[in-house]
Structure 1
Amino acid sequence: MVAEAVAAWLPGERGYEIGLRKGKLVCRNPQGKTLASLPKWLKESEIAESLRALAEWLDDHQAECRHTIERWMLRSLSVPREVVNEIWADPDWRSSLENLVVAPVDAKGKPNFEKTGLLKQVDAQRGLGVVDLDGETRWHKSPAMTVPHPILIADLEELRELASDLSITQTIDQLYRPVHQPTKDQAELKSINDYTEGMFEQLNFALSLCRRLGYPVRGGYATCRVWENDVMIEARYYVGDEYPEAETYTGPLVFVDANDKAVKIADLGPVTFSEGVRMASAIYAKRKVEESASEETP
Structure 2
Amino acid sequence: MSRILITRSMPERVVAAARELGEVTYRDETKPMARDGMVAALGDFDGILTTLGDGWSAEVFEAAGAARCKLLANFGVGFNHIDVEAARKAGVVVTNTPGTVTDGTADLALTLILMTARRAGEGERLVRAGAWGGWHPVQMLGLHVTGKRLGVIGMGRIGQAIARRCHFGFGMEIGYVARSDKTLDYPATRHESLGALASASDIVVTAVPGGAETHHMVGTPVFEAMPDHGIFVNIARGDVVDEAALIAALEARRIAGAGLDVYEFEPEVPEALRALENVVLLPHLGTAALEVREAMGLMAVDNLRAVLAGEVAPNSV
The bucket for the TM-score relative to the shorter chain is: under 0.3
TM value normalised by structure 1: 0.25
TM value normalised by structure 2: 0.24
Larger Rg belongs to: 1
